[in-house]
Amino acid sequence: MALPALSGFTAQAATQAATPAVAAPAEPTDVLTVAAFPLVDDIARAAMADWRRLHPQVELRVLTRQYSDHHTAMTTALSTAVGLPDVMALESSVVGRFAQGGGLDDLRRPPYGIEAYRQQLVPFAYDQAVARDGSVVAMPTDIGPGTMLYRHDILARAEVVEDDLTRSWDAYIAAGQRLKARTGAYLISSVQTIKDIMIRDGLNTGEGLYFDTDSRVLVNSPRFERAFELALRARQLGLDAKVSNWSNDWGAGLKQGRLATELSAAWLVGQLSSFVAPSTRGLWRAAPLPGGAQAAYGGAFYAIARKSAPSRKALAWDFIRLMTLDPARQLQAFKTHDAFPALRDVHADPFFSEPVDFLGGQRARLLWRDAALRITAMPVHKQNQFAEEVVQTELDKVLRNQKTIKQALADAEALLARRARR
């Protein structure tokens, strides 16, 4: 029996989805649980009406925890098989770690068949969920293409143009010197942000960030040396405000024009306009990252635990396809929550060509769409999170003149090598 049509749902998805009974009961007789974190939970709840039309006999129940609590709870549930939801939302940075644990279903297998949809999804997002053994453990729903946001008014006062910031990393630093000298504004909130992007710059598809596929440590390399050198130079020149993102000082700097640029994700525009710095509407512009660098910042995925209830796995897959393959759902999430769609079908929507008021009418979504297709996925090692902390700590020691760059990277390599052997 045919699946009731959903507005915008792909023909392929519609023909393959599960079939509800003709005479659905007046009240739901089953419950599908989805565990999520903000704002993914809001996006899931917004789909409840569509879900009721698709499966009127199954209640959709969305369970919410704060970001860190959610991922801790999912880690515990996967290891104990207790309290498993039917569907779990995962942030991109933890997908690789969860994949290595073996607790997630391989979505290539029945009743899923994710490979049939691969060409419909942004390539790097799909690749992020591919484990070392080739299994695909999660379905991407939104992504965070990297971008530079800069204050147009501050640049004008300093007689700096966009190309001065984006042409190369050296040009970015030189422009920061002019901005600081002529306006007093800092180039960036923290030089750690520069390092975070530069260590991702120049990677080829399949190359790891901190480890290669054989768990060899990659941090004592020209890629990390260059990132540390540029971060140190920016600090020595007084170009960063030495404040952490999402701190009160960071927000105040953005509001008061003390920060000339920010390197982040496209979704930051929504955060700035809604609560971080709404008074700066029209003063910001978006541009590519310096030197043609490509980076992704976050993104959400849906996964199914291997030991979740077998009777609801097909239903869980129906929900995931509704959230990830229905262009109407994806577009609505983009419009309401700045959740940049992982579904490529949505990228041709006229909304992408509309001017962004907060960015002075710039059609920035086209820039971000193009950037998303140039990002390459990196294999995620189970020790990546620890490696990030180690590298961050070593850069702090370099910035405080406690170590040379060579010593810091050598120490990081030694520590990570010991950890990787565990």
- Indicate the domain borders of the chain: 11-143+298-353, 146-296+376-420
Phi/psi region, residue 109 (left: phi>0; alpha: psi -120 to 50; beta: rest), is: beta
For the 146-296+376-420 domain, the top CATH level (class) is alpha beta
pLDDT digits (tens, 9 = 90+) for 243-252: 999 999 999 9
pLDDT digits (tens, 9 = 90+) for 149-173: 999 999 999 999 999 999 999 999 9
User: Residue range 284-302: average pLDDT?
Assistant: 94
Q: Write out the E strands in 266-354.
A: 284-287, 296-303, 340-341
pLDDT digits (tens, 9 = 90+) for 1-37: 333 333 333 434 433 444 444 444 557 789 999 999 9
User: Residue range 212-229: average pLDDT?
Assistant: 92
CB neighbour list of residue 357: distance below 8 Å, 6 or more residues apart: 281, 282
Percent of the chain residues past pLDDT 90, beyond the cut:
81
State pTM to two decimals: 0.88
Of the candidates 330, 354, 348, 350, which has an alpha carbon nearest to the alpha carbon of residue 340? 330
Checking if the pLDDT of 66 tops 80, the result is yes
Pairing of strands 296-303, 87-91: antiparallel
pLDDT digits (tens, 9 = 90+) for 369-409: 999 999 988 777 778 889 999 999 999 999 999 999 999 99
User: Residue range 128-156: average pLDDT?
Assistant: 95
- Return the biggest CA–CA distance within the chain: 73
* 200 phi and psi angles, rounded to 5 deg: -95, -10
CB crowding 143-157: b at 16 or more within 10 Å, else e: bbbbbbbbbebbbee
Decide which of 347 and 421 is more confident.
347
CB neighbour list of residue 343: distance below 8 Å, 6 or more residues apart: 120, 121, 122, 324, 325, 327, 330
Q: Write out the E strands in 268-347.
A: 284-287, 296-303, 340-341
* 256 phi and psi angles, rounded to 5 deg: -95, 5
Decide which of 109 and 377 is more confident.
109
Which is the CATH superfamily of the domain at 11-143+298-353? Periplasmic binding protein-like II (3.40.190.10)
Same fold, 11-143+298-353 and 146-296+376-420: yes
Position 311 scores a pLDDT of 96
